[in-house]
Amino acid sequence: MLQQLDKYNAKATFFCVGENVEKHQAIFKTIAFKGHRIGNHGMRHENGWDVDTHTYLKSYSETQKFIPSNLFRPPYGRIKNRQAKELIKLGVEIVMWDVISGDFDPSILPKKCLANVLKHTQNGSIVVFHDSEKAFPNLSFTLPKMLDHFSKVGYRFEHL
């Protein structure tokens, strides 16, 4: 993923799960070294609808030890109003998206994943990809083709 981003001089914002950063610190440091921005995605990718506000905020705070960032993306895009209000009080910017690639879904074939991204992405879009083993077949097919397509039409790829 990082090589593809480099090839197109693309900068991304990586919303990282704290326990993954803890396990893979070299990768995390490389992401930051290459000029990408990093945001908090919770310690264990907790679904905000399934946990109480205290647990959710604790997950955010634990992750801040590894990822000191004011950006937060709710795992699954699910966050209760109370959780959001408490994070905003802390000065956190909650970041959602307008295009989700679907790369994480093994039932979606790579060509369909690409078609989804190309169809829905427009100037200023925030497109979500996942850097995981499960998503890799779709990510490795879609990301380079998406970067190539939108580079040819004059888009730039910037972090938030």
The predicted model gives 105-120 an average pLDDT of 97
- The dihedral region occupied by 45, where left means phi > 0, alpha psi between -120 and 50, and beta the remainder, is left
The percent of residues above 90 in pLDDT, for the chain, comes to 97
Greater model confidence, 131 or 55: 55
Question: pLDDT over 70 for what percent of the chain?
Answer: 100
Domains in the chain: boundaries: 1-96, 103-152
Please state the rounded mean pLDDT for residues 56-82: 96
The pLDDT value given to residue 136: 95
**CATH number, span 1-96:** 3.20.20.370
With a cut of 90, say whether residue 73 has pLDDT above it: yes
User: What 3-state class would DSSP assign to 101?
Assistant: coil
Read off the pLDDT of residues 115-149 as tens digits, 9 standing for 90 and up.
999 999 999 999 999 988 999 999 999 999 999 99
What pLDDT shows up at residue 131? 87
Task: Give the burial class of 91: count Cβ atoms within 10 A of its Cβ; 0-12 exposed, 13-18 middle, 19 or more buried.
Answer: exposed
Segment 9-35, tens digit of pLDDT: 999 999 999 999 999 999 999 999 999
